[in-house]
A and B are shown apart, each in its own frame.
Chain A
Amino acid sequence: GDSVTQMEGPVTLSEEAFLTINCTYTATGYPSLFWYVQYPGEGLQLLLKATKADDKGSNKGFEATYRKETTSFHLEKGSVQVSDSAVYFCALTTGFSGYSTLTFGKGTMLLVSP
């Protein structure tokens, strides 16, 4: 079956540090890849996505590139802020349209200190 593996947390960084959260996947079909973020007290929000190999998703300064050869979708940000403190989930789907269900990783907590 499909699965997503992401690095264990928490990841603790100082403000303006560089962030990488690793994510690798296995999938039976050709997946679309996502990063979701959950800020304290809020629901999961879609951060970015990529639907085919070599696509780069980006949003709010975060980026991730769909690497089919290494089955990876690592999340990066050049300079983190305290407000980026949250739990980040890597996910995939191999379905289409509204019938697609998501397969998630375990989540990585990011803590950014001033």
Chain B
Amino acid sequence: EAGVTQFPSHSVIEKGQTVTLRCDPISGHDNLYWYRRVMGKEIKFLLHFVKESKQDESGMPNNRFLAERTGGTYSTLKVQPAELEDSGVYFCASSPASTGLILEKYFGPGTRLTVT
């Protein structure tokens, strides 16, 4: 079974440009999460999809960030326009449909975004 994959692994862009990150969750996983780690700080929750619906987007920093999950499969996270403080590692995670138990989240390797 393939794990969570993310593309690209590393992106370097200039301030003001647009970048789109992609996450492919484990096949069949309804839950998809985005997290971000800014250098030297905690990994912070950004948002949570259940299938194609946004369940919780309370962690999205501002309206320059747009996440989509069309068809309930892969997800994209677009940053437009990028600012210096957006630099960090963006992690995607997925988990199966809710069963009332605390479910393990499977994380991808992350996308390292550098805004210059």
**Residues on A facing B (Cβ under 8 Å):** 4, 32, 36, 41-46, 49, 51, 89, 91, 93, 96-107
Q: Do the beta carbons of B97 and A98 come within 8 Å of each other?
A: yes
Q: Do the beta carbons of A102 and B96 come within 8 Å of each other?
A: no
Q: Do the beta carbons of B107 and A44 come within 8 Å of each other?
A: yes
Q: Does B45 contact A (CB under 8 A)?
A: yes
Q: A89-B43, A96-B102 are in contact. Are A45 and B97 (CB under 8 A)?
A: no
Bound Cα distance A102, B35 (Å): 9
Bound Cα distance A96, B103 (Å): 8
Query: Number of B residues whose C-beta is below 8 Å from A?
Result: 36
Q: Do the beta carbons of B102 and A41 come within 8 Å of each other?
A: no
Complex interface residues of chain B between 94 and 111 (CB less than 8 A to chain A): 95-110
A sample of 20 more A-B contacts (CB under 8 A), given A104-B44, A106-B40, A106-B42, is A4-B42, A43-B108, A43-B110, A45-B107, A46-B105, A49-B102, A49-B104, A97-B98, A97-B103, A98-B95, A98-B97, A98-B103, A99-B31, A99-B48, A99-B56, A100-B102, A102-B35, A102-B105, A104-B35, A104-B42
Residues on the A chain within 8 Å of B106, using CB: 43
Bound Cα distance A97, B97 (Å): 8
Residues on the A chain within 8 Å of B105, using CB: 46, 102
Provide the main secondary structure of the chain B interface. Answer: loop
Residues on the B chain within 8 Å of A42, using CB: 109
Residues on the B chain within 8 Å of A103, using CB: 42, 45
Q: Does B33 contact A (CB under 8 A)?
A: yes
Which of A32, A49, A105 is in CB contact (< 8 Å) with B42? A105
Q: Do the beta carbons of B43 and A43 come within 8 Å of each other?
A: no
Q: Do the beta carbons of A93 and B102 come within 8 Å of each other?
A: yes
Residues on the B chain within 8 Å of A44, using CB: 43, 91, 93, 107
Shortest Cβ distance from A25 into chain B, in angstroms? Answer: 12
Q: Do the beta carbons of B48 and A101 come within 8 Å of each other?
A: yes
